[in-house]
Structure 1
Amino acid sequence: MNPRARPLPSVRTITFGQPLVWLVLAWRDMARIGWLSFAQGLVLALGGGVIVAVAHDRFWLLAGAVSGFLLIAPVLATSLYALSRALERREPATLRVVVDTWVHWQRDHLDKFGADYWSLVRFGIGLALAGTGWVLTSAALITLYAPVPILQPMDFVRHVVLDREGWLFEVWLVLGGVMAAPIFASSVVAMPLLLDRRVTLMQAVLTSWRAVLANPLPLAVWALLIALFTALGLASLFIGLVFVMPMLGHASWHAYRDLVDVEHWPARESEWPSSLTKER
């Protein structure tokens, strides 16, 4: 059956505290995988460090680069999902899995120029464009209403964040939350689903939305945990991202497995023996 003609994968309801279980399972995966998991966190942390080094004295360039970096993180974490999947299937979680994920993520896909083959790239571009829209909106808001010109990161802290008489920071936070919510809803399970099953990009995004609508409170907790741990990683001058990014990546795989029922959907890679696939 043509995957495009199938109904969307069904979603499950979860308990309020299930996001904490995903974090525990993520640390278990990190312990089993070892250095390879942390190495990917290190690469992402170094990428963040390069952004800060290049744009540290250009506030809006820095804000835009960091926002874009964080928004495409679900795509950058694709190989972390693949490693957790390998553990689930009792396959070796090795460097080969990481390389194959990025170089041959659909090894048996004949049409390398088709839209389905480039769904990872298309999704990443979409997230980056959404981040750009937020940065432009944020810049316009701060430029119009800040009491003084905001040129440096510390200017933003002093005159926006710590301004007790103004309302700009509160409005900025609310606006950011309103714009971040649909991005989160579109991506919470989309990338692991694209990696794991033969779905289109639109099917993955719509399934992600269905999972959020079926579990608004648990996934609000999950969004809060992601924001909290990411903020801690950034506050540590990106050093904490060495641990935070792998943890959130592996946890996102377990979130997908708990939230989406894909038992009747074909696997992305047809050459994997079905006996190795362990459905929950």
Structure 2
Amino acid sequence: MRESPALVESRRFGTRRVPVLRPLGWLAAGWRDFMRCPLPGVLHGLALALFGGTLFWLARDQFWLLSGAFSGFLLVAPVLATGLYAVSRALQREGRARLATALAAWRPRDSRLVVFGVLLAVAGTGWVMTSAALITGLAPAPVRNPVEFLRVVVLADQGHLFEIWLALGGVLAAPVFASSVVAIPLLLDREVGVLAAVFTSWRVVMDNPVAMALWAGLLMGLTLLGMASLMLGLAIVVPWLAHASWHAYRDLVDSSGLVARP
């Protein structure tokens, strides 16, 4: 049986196995990049914090919708950090970066990143709709605020709504994480097709299942902490994790055999 051209392309370069605790090193490297060039990161983080705060205000009495929207944020976050990957790449290549470095990455000149961003947006929207339909359809009482979500969904005496909600979220989030964890930095850095980048991302996860599970947990936990601090923590968490994700890609993928993008 003839293999997919994208799968063949993804085998032109290798993936690396890393120690289980290596994600902690990515966090340390990401923090160093953030401190070296903080302005782009703070602006990215503040923009997302402002968006989250606005969303919360507009739908503050519809927590059945907000719960899906905020968890769906985790699905689309990789593409929102594209400009910060560019900053880390510039720091690695040239030893310096500016705000213009991050802004240049957002120019719609690369259709591959646009395609990947649209796919992640579709996945995030699908989860928001699924989450809202599940909670409004199966919850025994209205869910209008965080307290009601906790009482009616999380701590409900009967039924398994929270377990079902988590399971469905995991079913969607796991393949999205596996498909994107190094794909977007790879697309930004090298001339490679979208499907080849996705296959590479899956190879990375399969080669490092425990380390990548730890990395997924750190991404989720720190993002939730940023949201829990009235969104203000996102101004720090978003750039920190974005820069760390660039170092994860550089550790996990041997892309030296591919043509570098300018």
TM-score by length of 2: 0.90
Let me know the Cα RMSD of the aligned residues. 2.0
TM superposition shift of 1:252: 0.4
Paired residue type of 1:59:
F
- C-alpha change, 1:43 and 1:166, in structure 2 (3 Å) is same
Contact 1:68 1:132 in 2 (8 A): yes
- C-alpha change, 1:60 and 1:157, in structure 2 (3 Å) is same
Paired residue type of 1:34:
P
Q: Tell me the equivalent position of 2:175.
A: 182
Q: After superposition, give the CA deviation of every residue in 1:69-119 in whole Å (9 maximum; x if it has no partner).
A: 332211110011111111111242111211221127x5xxxxxxxxxx322
Match of 1:69 among 63, 70, 73: 73
1:31 aligns to 2:35 (yes or no)? yes
Q: Aligned partners of 2:189, 2:68: CA distance in 1, in Å?
A: 31
Match of 1:44 among 38, 44, 48: 48
Match of 1:160 among 153, 170, 177: 153
TM superposition shift of 1:193: 0.3
Which sections of structure 2, spanning at least 5 residues, go unmatched? Answer: none
Aligned partner of residue 20 in structure 2, secondary structure: coil
Aligned partner of residue 102 in structure 1, secondary structure: coil
Aligned partner of residue 179 in structure 1, secondary structure: helix
- C-alpha change, 1:6 and 1:173, in structure 2 (3 Å) is closer
Contact 1:58 1:152 in 2 (8 A): yes
Comparing 30-39 with 239-248, which one deviates more in the overlay?
A: 30-39
Contact 2:74 2:220 in 1 (8 A): no
Q: After superposition, give the CA deviation of every residue in 1:53-72 in whole Å (9 maximum; x if it has no partner).
A: 22222234434443443322
Match of 1:138 among 131, 155, 170: 131
Comparing 67-76 with 232-241, which one deviates more in the overlay?
A: 67-76
Aligned partner of residue 40 in structure 2, secondary structure: helix
TM superposition shift of 1:208: 0.6
Structural mapping, 1:1-280, within 5 Å: 6-8=9-11, 9-103=13-107, 117-269=110-262
TM superposition shift of 1:133: 2.0
Paired residue type of 1:148:
A
Name the count of aligned residue pairs.
Answer: 256
Higher helix share: 2
TM superposition shift of 1:178: 1.9
Paired residue type of 2:58:
V
Comparing 56-65 with 82-91, which one deviates more in the overlay?
A: 56-65
- C-alpha change, 1:151 and 1:41, in structure 2 (3 Å) is closer
Contact 1:234 1:240 in 2 (8 A): yes
Aligned partner of residue 103 in structure 1, secondary structure: coil
Which sections of structure 1, spanning at least 5 residues, go unmatched? Answer: 107-116, 270-280
Paired residue type of 1:56:
R
Q: Aligned partners of 1:223, 1:76: CA distance in 2, in Å?
A: 17
TM superposition shift of 1:268: 1.5
Q: Aligned partners of 2:150, 2:21: CA distance in 1, in Å?
A: 34
